[in-house]
């Protein structure tokens, strides 16, 4: 179900179109929505040889929940974005694609840039998913190990995936899925010592109160569906290199 006139006049290559058509057919046969989205993320990762991770987020009550990621490190990078900003959040806020050809030249999102570089990520591509009313309903975030990895493929990737994902988020009730996940997360979050260290680091770097830093870290982990101690590990490794705000 697509709105007339909203899709750009660009079509994906036949091989990609065929994979997405098969995935759409599986969805019609009752395939789990999360499994479907994960399959789409895997297709997206295969489009670019140096792509090392893809995540898909869905907006619930104005918060971007990571509902699937092709690797744990990808979800962790989403979590770092939720702490202090990043390209996927900008793409959701602005309602347009955000391409970062080389993170080493990027001056925004310092925490995210350091975390991505530490994991061998040099380029990112993020773009929104819109529902049938043309409202931003989620987003796709792609990470690559080579600079300029998405050059020349930008429109192909976005058009080839966004239209199919638009149909999914329009026709599937994902809100209960993500809210249930969020309610289960507190029982899975532990490692108090690591979390306290990360809270202290955020207080020093950003001038936040302890409550504000802890709330920011907790929400970041919830949005990306990763344990708080994993986010704390990422941030702790970056403290010597991140200048204060």
Among 31-40, 71-80, 82-91, 235-244, the minimum mean pLDDT is found in: 235-244
Q: Is 233 exposed, middle or buried (0-12, 13-18, 19+ CB in 10 A)?
A: middle
Confidence of residue 164 (pLDDT cuts 50, 70, 90): low
Across 23-37, 140-154, 164-178, 181-195, least confident range: 181-195
Is the pLDDT at 2 greater than 60? The verdict is no
- In the chain, CATH 3.30.450.40 covers 14-173
For the segment 164-180, the average pLDDT, to the nearest whole number, is 63
Is it the case that residue 43 has pLDDT exceeding 90? no
The CATH code of domain 14-173 reads: 3.30.450.40
- CATH 1.10.10 domain extents, the chain: 181-235
Cα 122 from Cα 133, distance rounded (Å): 34
How many angstroms separate the Cα of 63 from the Cα of each of 93, 132, 137, 204, 240?
Answer: 11, 19, 10, 26, 30
> Is pLDDT at 39 greater than 80 in this prediction?
yes
User: How confident is the model at residue 95, as a pLDDT?
Assistant: 92
From the number of C-beta atoms within 10 Å of its C-beta (0-12, 13-18, 19+), residue 24 rates as middle
Q: Considering just the CA atoms, what is the radius of gyration of the chain in Å?
A: 18
Report residue 35's pLDDT band, with 50, 70 and 90 as the boundaries. confident
pLDDT tens figures, 111-156: 999 999 999 999 999 999 887 778 888 899 999 999 999 887 766 6
What is the domain class of 181-235 according to CATH? Answer: mainly alpha
Alpha carbon 104 to its chain centroid, in Å, reads: 20
Q: Which of 187-196, 197-206, 232-241 has the highest mean pLDDT?
A: 197-206
**What does pTM read for this prediction?**
0.70
> Which has the closest alpha carbon to 52: 137, 150, 131?
150
CB distance 199 to 213 below 8 Å: yes
């Amino acid at each position: 179900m697509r709105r007339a006139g909203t899709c750009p006049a660009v079509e994906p290559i036949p091989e990609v179109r065929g994979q997405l058509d098969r995935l759409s057919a599986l969805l019609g046969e009752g395939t789990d929505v999360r499994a479907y989205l994960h399959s789409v993320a895997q297709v997206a990762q295969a489009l670019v040889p140096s792509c090392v991770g893809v995540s898909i987020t869905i907006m619930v009550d104005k918060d971007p929940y990571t509902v699937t990621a092709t690797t744990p490190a990808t979800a962790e990078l989403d979590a770092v974005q939720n702490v202090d900003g990043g390209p996927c959040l900008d793409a959701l806020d602005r309602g347009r694609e955000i391409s970062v050809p080389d993170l080493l030249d990027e001056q925004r999102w310092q925490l995210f840039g350091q975390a991505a570089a530490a994991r061998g990520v040099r380029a990112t591509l993020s773009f929104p998913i819109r529902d049938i009313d043309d409202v931003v309903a989620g987003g796709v975030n792609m990470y690559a190990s080579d600079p300029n990895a998405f050059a020349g493929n930008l429109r192909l990737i976005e058009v080839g995936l966004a239209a199919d994902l638009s149909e999914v988020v329009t026709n599937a009730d994902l809100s209960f899925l993500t809210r249930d996940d969020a309610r289960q997360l507190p029982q899975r979050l532990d490692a108090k010592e690591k979390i306290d260290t990360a809270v202290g680091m955020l207080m020093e770097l950003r001038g936040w109160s302890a409550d504000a830093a802890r709330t920011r870290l907790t929400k970041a982990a919830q949005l990306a569906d990763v344990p708080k101690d994993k986010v704390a590990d990422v941030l702790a490794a970056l403290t010597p290199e991140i200048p204060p705000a």
